[in-house]
Chain A
């Protein structure tokens, strides 16, 4: 139906019953219907990466996904990355080396790299830069973001080794 349909969405471990139009993107439903405005909307065609969230643990563009598709899937947004108020090593590193700047692109970067760093626990700078190509920072200060990802990787390796 092009008319609104009833769906149930599982976001950050909580289930929400919603009525949404099929054409409504997941990014808009997260922001407008659930008030989870940490998911930012930039380009709306998958290029900028600001709306990146996790679908069943894998990073995905919320602007290229319709909320109706997400029934039965586990969604994670930036609001649930820090556990009980404690920042992750990546989030800490971003604050410590001034990797946020204006902060608009940060949620997408955090969600992408929380997963990417599990796949690539010991990355080199070139690898980080290649992965970061999927997230556009219009402050254009990639230097500190790269530094933060490398610092977080080192921190996570120390944590895993301890």
Chain B
């Protein structure tokens, strides 16, 4: 339970970090909050020759909110995402997701970029990013590129990132004031990985019916997925208890979780139904006009 030997680098700014990544390539691992890489190194599942510590890159710890976009730096800690008043206003769905990550002490260190690059299939940020059509900003010494989250997260712990590249920020479209949202998850223990998690947003048309549903489900496959069929079929349905039950059932019918000895596929599918219903209910309640 002790990490293997490595050479330690502590760049003082992003350009220096990118220079190191360009030189060291596949022999290096960038270290952000260390709340996933640390355990992997302690268990020797990861044995990088070089560790490039990103914790001094304070230029990557930021929250910028404009009329349309919430852009968050890759080194922003979960605790800040969970408690930042601007994020709470512009993107409360993300704040709620961040509040559910690990534990209080873990959230003080873990980062947005680190979690997204680690790409655990049950992780919160990838689910929210894919559900909200977020974009991932990637830098290297060579170039800057912007990749839709849905393309960035490729498979279990596999993302579209070259060895010399670093994620520097994530851009989310902010929620409209009239947009309802829900984030719900089920895990066996507090702070543990979700067996199933659901993120969604919806609007109501002039007659109060559902429009523009975006529905993402995590924990049921190698990457979080959008349920396009349910999103389409929800359009124009009355926002009532019956519709919620139908859509939740449909969500469960549209996932194909793998059977595993501890979590049978059928159990996970039933969880999708229950958790989706909870998230839909929360979102619909948020769109009930108080006037």
Contacts and interface: CB of A to CB of B under 8 A. Distances in A.
A28 B10 CA distance: 21
B75 to A, nearest CB: 14
Interface string A60-83: 110111101100000000000000
A60 B5 contact: no
A116 B38 contact: no
Contact of A25 (B2, B6, B31): B2
Contacts of A22: 5-8, 51
A60 B10 CA distance: 19
B55 A69 contact: yes
Given A44-B42, A45-B42, A5 B105 contact: no
Contact of A133 (B31, B35, B191): B191
B212 to A, nearest CB: 33
A57 to B, nearest CB: 10
Contacts, number: 92
Interface in B22-49: 31, 34-35, 38-39, 42-43
Contacts of B104: 59, 112, 116, 131, 134
Interface size bucket, B side? 20 to 34
Contacts of A69: 8, 10, 31, 53, 55
Given A63-B38, A133-B103, A23 B2 contact: yes
A46 B1 CA distance: 11
B102 interface: yes
A99 interface: no
A52 interface: yes
B106 interface: yes
Interface in B76-122: 79, 102-106, 108-109
B106 to A, nearest CB: 7
Contacts of B229: none
A61 B38 contact: yes
A63 B104 CA distance: 16
B273 to A, nearest CB: 25
A58 interface: yes
B42 A134 contact: no
Nearest to A7: B8
Contact of B105 (A44, A49, A66, A68): A49
B246 interface: no
B11 interface: no
Interface of B: 1-8, 10, 31, 34-35, 38-39, 42-43, 51, 53, 55, 79, 102-106, 108-109, 189-191
Closest 7 CB pairs of A and B: A134-B103, A64-B38, A133-B190, A45-B39, A22-B8, A44-B1, A59-B105
Interface of A: 1-2, 5, 21-25, 28, 44-46, 49, 52, 55, 58-61, 63-66, 68-69, 112, 116, 129-131, 133-135
Given A23-B3, A134-B105, 11 more contacts: A23-B5, A24-B2, A25-B3, A25-B42, A44-B2, A45-B43, A52-B105, A58-B109, A61-B35, A68-B10, A134-B102
